[in-house]
Structure 1
Amino acid sequence: MSSAYEQVADRLRQFLMSHTGEVREISGKQFLPVSIVAGGLGGGEDTSADVEKPQAKGIGGGGVAVPLGVYRVDEDGDLEFQANPITFMAVAIPFVAVLGCTIRRILKVAKKKS
């Protein structure tokens, strides 16, 4: 029989990664929310043989859900993904900053070589 940690991890593994909610209908249109869900667990124990030092055990965990957007049916009846603008900005701003720094360094190196 597997330990309690393994049982919890197996159940969470089925749920974590990507998740879709229930289809919602708003003003006659159907929406399907999509998110990425991630989490982690950790635990440990000290099985010291020292009588004066008591055994210690601990477990902890955490998780996060990031809403990516929704799938919706557009006017033509086609399925369309509409991204969450806040999530898009949270990813795009650091990406653009790193890209800008990289281009600046490439130009600086190219200028020194010429």
Structure 2
Amino acid sequence: MTNIAVKLAETARSFGVGAVYGDPVEIEGQTLVPVAITWFGFGGSGSDETTSGIAGGGGGGAAIPVGAYVTQENGRVAFEPNLISLLAVSIPAVWVSGKALARIIRALKK
């Protein structure tokens, strides 16, 4: 059995900026560069080859498209957000921040 940690490290090394900014795409004379929020994680447990062969593993990730950089007619580049994705990301963040702030205020009142 090959070392899974080495394979995962090689895979993770190739992500970087390429996972957040997509390849430029030209549509109707405009160049678009897609932008996303990405994250991934891996886990695992196991044993060496001399034991009963019990092993485990796992992995997962997500990418949320948040918008694209678009070249405009005058040659300028502007960010055009994907409002639905931004709302899907920001609503839980605002909720968690509100809950945390409420607990901090409640703790300070005591």
- TM bucket normalised to smaller: 0.5 to 0.7
Shift of 1:28: 1.4
Change (3 A) 1:5 1:37: same
Q: What residue number does 1:10 align with? A: 10
Which has more strand, going by share of residues? Answer: 1
Kindly report which structure 2 residues correspond to 1:1-114, keeping only aligned pairs within 5 A, or say none. 3-16=3-16, 18-46=19-47, 54-97=52-95
Taking structure 1 as the reference length, what is the TM-score of the superposition?
0.66
Percent same amino acid at aligned positions?
36
Partner amino acid, structure 2, of 1:90: A
* TM-score, L = length of structure 2: 0.68
More deviation, 93-102/4-13: 93-102
Asked if 2 retains the 8 angstrom alpha-carbon contact of 1:16 and 1:37, the reply is no
**Deviating more after overlay: 35-44 vs 94-103:** 94-103
Work out the CA distance in 2 between the residues paired with 1:28 and 1:80: 15
Measured at CA, do residues 37 and 96 of structure 1 come closer, stay the same or move farther in structure 2, by a change above 3 Å?
closer
Relative distance call for 1:89 and 1:58 in structure 2 (3 A) is: same
The Cα shift of 1:10 comes to 3.2
Q: For the pair shown, which has the larger CA radius of gyration, 1 or 2?
A: 1
Letter in 1 for 2:73: E
Q: What is the root-mean-square deviation of aligned Cα atoms in Å?
A: 3.3
> Structure 2 stretches of 5 or more lacking a match?
none
Deviations 1:13-37 (A, max 9, x none): 3305642222112221111111122
Between the two proteins, the alignment pairs up a number of residues equal to 105
